[in-house]
Amino acid sequence: MKIELNDIKHILARVEKPARYTGGEYGAVQPPADAPFCFCMAFPDLYEVGTSNLGIKIVAESFLRRGYAADYCYAPAPDFGEEIKKAGVPLYSLALKKSLAEFDMIGFSLQFELCYTNILYMLDLAGIPRRRADRAGKNYPVIAVGGPCAVNPEPVADFVDIVFIGDGESVDADVAALYVECGGATREFYRRAAALEGVYVPALTEVKYAKDGRICGFESEFSPRRAIVRDLDGAVFPTSQPVPNCESVFDRSIIEVMRGCYRGCRFCQAGFIYRPVRQRGVETLTRQACSLIASTGYEEVSLNSLSTGDYPNLRKLLKSLKANLPQGVTLALPSLRVDSFDSEFAQDARKVSLTFAPEAGSQRLRDVINKDVTEDEIVSAAQSAFDIGYSAVKLYFMLGLPTETDDDLRAIRRIVDLIKSAYGRKPRQKSLRVSVSVSTFIPKPFTPFQWERQASEGEVEAKQKLLRDCLYVKGVTLSWSDYFTSRLEGVLARGDRRLSRVIERAYELGCKFDGWNKYLNREAWTKAFEDCGIDPDIYTRERAEDELLPWDFINCGITKDFLKRERARAYQGRVTGSCKAGCSACGLQKVCPAARGQYSIE
Amino acid sequence: MIAFRYTKTDGAEYISHLDLLRHIYRTLRRAGIPLKYSEGFHKHPRIYLNNPLGTGMRSVAEYATIDTDWRGDFLSAFNSRSPAGIKCLAWAYVADNQNYAAGIVSCTYRSEGINDFDISSLMAAESLPVVDTRGREIDMRPRIYAVERVEGALEFTLGCGENNLRPDVLCAYLAKRYGGECRDILKIASHMAEGLFE
C-alpha cells in the first residue's frame, strides 16, 4: 500500500511540524522499489532526533551498497500518531511511502532504554503484532533491533526476531542476503543467521529461572557475540546524506573519526562495548567531510568519537580539513577531554560556552571511576578557554557513584570556586556563567560497575539537596536529573525478559516517548509494574559477582574477569588509565591495534 | 543582488518559514553562489523572503532577494541543487533589496472544492466578521479585493501584510456558508504597488 500525501493533507495541515512526515529530503536516496530485499530503518524517537543520528545512516548505506532498498521511518509525534490511527492510515516509510508492514525487515535503532515503548507504538501504528509469538507463521516483516542498547536486549527480546549486536555495517546486509537465499524468514534462515557474528535470535535461546526468581541458566546451541568491524577506514560510510526537512537536533555534517575509546571510564558503557579503538585516516576523513559539505550545504562538520582529543593525528586532521573545506565551514569537536583540551582546537567555533565533564568532584572519586583527570587539568583547561574568549562553562557531574560520600559532592563546589577564580585572574568583559549539570549514575551492562546498586530515591534526593545548598552561588546554575527517569532507565538497562510484560503493559496504559519529560507518565509506569507483579527494585539492587546476569550469554569481547579486576581496582581507588599507557588485557587483545602498540593508522 | 520567484509545492508546502530560509541558504551554498553577510556578532546571510505562507498552502509565487555579486545562469544553478518543490521560476539582477516582505500588498490564490455561490452578493456585504486562526475577531470584507470563478476553481485576491487575510480562513468561511470542501489552496500571484521584477 502506497500512501499518497494528497490523501492525508488534511492531517498534515493540522499537526505540528508536518515536514517530519513528508519525506522528499534533499539528498535522500530513492531506494529501488523492486529490490530483492526491502529494509526499513526505524528510529523510535522524533524525526529531528533521528535525522541527527549517524549510525542509522551507516546501516541504511550498508544495505543500499548491496543493491537492497533502505528507507527510513521515525516515531511520529503523538498528534500525528493519533490522527493516522483514527484515519486508518498505517505508519509508512518516508521515501517509498510504503506501509511498514510490507517491508522484509524493520530495524529499530536502540539508542537508549527509554525508547522501548516507542517500538511497540510504531509496530502498533504499522498494524504489526507486538509480540513475536503473535507474528509466528504469518507474513510479517522480520523485526530487528540494534544499537548500543542491543548489548542487553532481553527486556525487548519477546518483541523482536533478530538482534544485531555491535557494528551494524558488518553483518546487517549479510542477514538480508541470507533472507533472500532462504526465500524468506524460514526456520533455516533464523538458524543460519544465529550462527553469524553479531546476530542473536531470541527465539533460539531459552532463559531458565531458579525458584528465587534469579536466572540460573541459558539454553541455546548458539553463543551470540558482538560484531566488530576490523577496518574502520575502509568501512561503509554514506558520503552524501539527506538534509532533514525541518531543523534537527544537530543540524550539521558528521564524520566519525574513531570508534571506541582508550580511556575505560568505569561508568561508561560506550567505553567498553565499542572496544577496541579503531580509526579512520586523515585522508579518508577529509574526503568524507568535503563530500558531505558539498552535497548537503551544511556550514559545520562535527568530528565525532567518544574522545576526539585522543585521535593521534588531530592536528594534522584539522589542518587538512581547514585546507580542503570551503572557507567559513566551522569544525565542532564535541568530545574533548580536559586533559586533551587545546585552545587551538576550540578557536573555530563561536566562543560562547564550553563543556567539560569532570564527572566527580573529588580526586578520590575520579580515581574510583577511572576518569584519570586532575583538578589542575580541569582548571587549566578552563583558564585557556577563558583566555581565548569563552565566558561560560558547562560542567557535567554524576551523583550516586560507588563509594561516594557527601565530601565528594561538596568537592564539586571547590571545582566551581577554582574555575571562578581562574576567570577572575584577568579583567574580562563579561561576567562568568557556570552551569553545573548533575545526572544520576546508572550502572550499565558490560561495565565494571554492572554489579553495583543504583542509589535509591531517598539517597538521590538527599544528594541533590546537598548540591543545591552548596552550589547556591551567584553566576552558577545547577540542574539535575529526575529520579524516576533515571531509575526506569536503570531497570530497563539491567533488565531481563520478564520486563517485556511491563513494557507492554506500560504501553497499553499510554506510555510512549518516556525519555521526554513532558510525555513521561509516571503513574502509568508504576501501575504497569504493579499489574505485572514485578518489583522494579530487584533490578536496581547490587548483583553478586557469581550471579548469572541477564546479558551474560552475550559475548561482547570483554571478559568478565577483566570487569571484576576493574571493579576491584575501583574500590581500591586505583586508576587503570588509558590503553595507550599499557594494555590491561580486557579480552580484545587479538583484534586490538593498541594492544599491538599501534596507536595510529598513519 | 538577485531577485527570484520560486515555488513551494510537491511536499515543500509543509516546510515552515524558518526552515524554508535554511533550505534556500543551503541550496545556494551547494550551488556555490556566495552570499553577503550581515555585520555583527551573529552574522547571517542576506536572504530576504516575502511574508510567510501558511504551512500546507502551495505557491508558485514566492519571492526572494539575495545579496550576491555572483553572475551566471541562476535558474539552473539553483534548481539543480534545490529540494523538491522549491524551484526557481524566474529571476533578474536587481540593484537593491526588493523588500518583498513589506512591498507585496496582495496575493491571488486559487482554491478548489467550494460550491458555486453568488459572488456579487458576497462582495456586496458591508462586513464579513470571522474569528481568525489566532482567535481574534476580524472583518474580512475590506481585505478581500477580488473574487472570481475561473474554469470551476475559485480565484481570489486578498490583502497581504498590513491588510492581511489568510486564504484558509476565507476558504473555511466560504465552505461553511456555501458548502463543499476546500481541497487545495495555491498562491498563483503576488502583487506589489511598484510592480515585481518580471
* Chain A nearest-CA residue for B168: A13
Pairwise CB contact (< 8 Å): A247 & B30: no
The angle subtended at Cα A538 by Cα A533 and Cα A543, nearest 5°, is: 155
B116 & B91 share domain: no
* Chain B nearest-CA residue for A18: B14
Size of the A and B interface in Cβ pairs below 8 Å: 59
How much is the pLDDT for A465?
A: 96
Q: How far is CA A460 from the centre of its chain?
A: 24
Query: Shortest CB distance from B14 goes to which of A19, A251, A296?
Result: A19
CA gap A448, A560 in Å, rounded:
9
How much is the pLDDT for A181?
A: 97
Alpha helices (H) along A369-425 = 375-387, 406-424
Query: Shortest CB distance from A12 goes to which of B14, B26, B28?
Result: B14
B27 & B76 share domain: yes
Contact between A156 and A123 under an 8 Å Cβ cutoff? The reply is no
Contact between A274 and A55 under an 8 Å Cβ cutoff? The reply is no
Contacts of A18 in chain B (CB under 8 A): 14, 55-56
CA gap A245, A585 in Å, rounded:
46
> Which residues, listed in sequence order, are joined to residue A40 by a DSSP beta bridge?
A71, A106
CATH placement of domain A5-219? 3.40.50.2300
Cell of B57: 498552502
Contacts of A247 in chain B (CB under 8 A): 18-19, 22
Query: Shortest CB distance from A13 goes to which of B30, B56, B84?
Result: B56
Pairwise CB contact (< 8 Å): A246 & B15: yes
Count of alpha carbons within 13 angstroms of residue A515, beta-carbon side: 17
Contacts of B56 in chain A (CB under 8 A): 9, 12-13, 18
B107 & B174 share domain: yes
Which residue positions in chain B have pLDDT lower than 50?
Answer: none
B93 & B158 share domain: no
- Spatial CB neighbours of A32, under 8 Å, sequence gap ≥ 6: A67, A69
* Chain B nearest-CA residue for A290: B30
B86 & B57 share domain: yes
Q: Which of B75, B98, B121 marks a domain boundary?
A: B98
Pairwise CB contact (< 8 Å): B81 & A23: no
Pairwise CB contact (< 8 Å): A18 & B14: yes
Pairwise CB contact (< 8 Å): B26 & A298: yes
DSSP letters, B113-126, are: EEPP--HHHHHH-S
B44 & B111 share domain: no
Please give the ipTM for the structure prediction. 0.91
B80 & B126 share domain: no
For A480-512, b where at least 16 C-beta lie within 10 A, e where not — what string? bbebebbbbbbbbbbbbbbbbbbbbbbbebebb
* Chain B nearest-CA residue for A351: B41
* Chain A nearest-CA residue for B28: A297
CA gap A425, A176 in Å, rounded:
61
CATH number, domain with residue B36: 3.30.70.580
Pairwise CB contact (< 8 Å): A25 & B83: yes
Query: Shortest CB distance from A19 goes to which of B15, B26, B29?
Result: B15
For B116-136, b where at least 16 C-beta lie within 10 A, e where not — what string? ebeeeebeeeeebeeeeeeee
**Shortest Cα distance, chain A CAs vs residue B14, angstroms:** 5
Q: Which of B98, B132, B161 marks a domain boundary?
A: B98
Tell me the mean pLDDT per 10 residues along chain A, length 602. 91 95 93 92 97 95 94 98 97 96 97 97 98 94 97 97 93 95 96 96 95 91 95 92 92 94 95 96 97 94 90 92 91 74 58 82 96 90 86 93 96 94 89 94 98 97 95 93 96 97 98 96 97 96 95 96 97 94 94 91 80
Asked, for residue B182, whether it belongs to a domain, the answer is: yes
B123 & B141 share domain: yes
* Chain A nearest-CA residue for B30: A297
Pairwise CB contact (< 8 Å): B56 & A9: yes
CA gap A163, A444 in Å, rounded:
18
Range of the domain at B77: 2-98
Backbone angles phi, psi at B196, to 5 degrees: -95, 170
Asked, for residue B198, whether it belongs to a domain, the answer is: no
Contact between B9 and A9 under an 8 Å Cβ cutoff? The reply is no
Task: Give the H/E segment covering residue A141.
Answer: none
How far are the Cα atoms of A250, A385, A405, A413, B6 from residue A354, in angstroms, in the given order? 16, 8, 28, 18, 41
DSSP-derived pairing of the beta strands B129-131 and B137-139: antiparallel
B115 & B76 share domain: no
- Spatial CB neighbours of A597, under 8 Å, sequence gap ≥ 6: none
Query: Shortest CB distance from A297 goes to which of B14, B30, B184?
Result: B30
Q: How far is CA A349 from the centre of its chain?
A: 25
pTM here is 0.94
Contacts of B28 in chain A (CB under 8 A): 297
Alpha helices (H) along A69-109 = 78-87
CA gap A243, A247 in Å, rounded:
9
Contact between A435 and A392 under an 8 Å Cβ cutoff? The reply is yes
Backbone angles phi, psi at B90, to 5 degrees: -160, 155
Count of structural domains within chain B? 2
B55 & B108 share domain: no
B17 & B86 share domain: yes
- Spatial CB neighbours of A74, under 8 Å, sequence gap ≥ 6: A20, A42, A43, A45, A46, A47, A49, A50, A51, A94
CA gap A499, A133 in Å, rounded:
16
CB atoms within 10 A of CB A330: 14
How far are the Cα atoms of A265, A452, A583 from residue A572, in angstroms, in the given order? 15, 15, 19
* Chain A nearest-CA residue for B54: A13
Pairwise CB contact (< 8 Å): B14 & A295: no
